[in-house]
Amino acid sequence: MTEYGKPVLLTGASGNLGRALTKALAARGWRLVLTDIAPFPDAVPEGCRFERADLNDGVTILRLAEGCGAILHFGGISVEQPFETVLGPNIRGAYHVYEAARREKARVVFASSNHAIGFHARPPEGEEGNGAKLDFDCQLRPDSFYGLSKAYTELMGRYYWDKHGVENVNIRIGSSFPEPADRRMLSTWLSYDDLCRMVAAAVTAPAVAHSVVWGASDNPASYWGRDHRDRIGWQPEDSAEPFRAKVEGRLGDPVSERYQGGGYTSAGYTREAFSPKGTFDLP
């Protein structure tokens, strides 16, 4: 008897987060259809199978999704790259995933990113608990072509829910690594265990409609406030605070320290001054 009855398609299975999800969900007895353009570097768990595929190949994505009850979309370009590099796997690939979900009546759990909202300013130091946190329904303010592709796919989820009833959970992942690497990650860090529990909750929740959940552990310095975590029945259990003494002195440049997206905002930045705080503000 498995925890989740239908097979689940996982794109991006060969990446760090995909491998963590594979291990955690296979241990729960889930039947996973794993795919990535890169070979899977680990032993494929019992009851799972792996097939190499390009997200640009819509026919193959449709075939891999056959009979699946959910698609965990963690595939695509995972760092900033030129637009033409991001375009195929991240934009066209998202369309192929949602078309597969529509046909199979499957739920999509999408690995979105804080970089979809990265040009929002950080809350003033020490004011995170005074109403300064960003809520799930804030304006999208991508900080990179990578972040732009994440914002686009969130909107695609909105479209497929409104027009076709495809349920989807968009996880705006902060910084998911074994441990925080700098001061910013005291606010944005998401442990692998919290991620895996969140994804399992997003798949098994009775109903999710079109949802956004901030992908961060229980960090007191978090930039983010309201979301749909109660809808999926998830609360984080880990925290970045035990790492504070190790990383709080690791800072970036002035632009990256101003905005929530960190180094993605300052990479290639050509403005002479900071971007306005409000989305539509004059300089």
> So where are the chain's domains?
8-266
Distance CA 69, CA 233 (A): 19
> What is the pTM (predicted TM-score) of this model?
0.95
Query: Which CATH code for domain 8-266?
Result: 3.40.50.720
What's at 11, amino acid-wise? T
What is the mean pLDDT of each successive set of 10 residues along the chain, which is 283 residues long? 82 98 97 98 97 98 98 97 96 98 98 98 69 91 98 98 98 98 98 98 98 98 97 98 97 96 97 90 86
CB-based contacts of 206, cutoff 8 Å, min separation 6? none
Residue 88: CB atoms within 10 A of its CB come to 14
Q: Is 223 a catalytic residue?
A: no
83 in helix, strand or coil?
A: helix
Residue among 192, 160, 195, 198 nearest 177 (CA): 192
* Adjacent-strand bridge partners of 241: none
Q: In the prediction, which pLDDT does 4 show?
A: 80
Distance CA 214, CA 190 (A): 10
Of these residues, 4, 95, 98, 146, which one is catalytic? 146
What's at 61, amino acid-wise? I
CB 170 within 8 A of CB 211: yes
Q: In the prediction, which pLDDT does 189 show?
A: 98
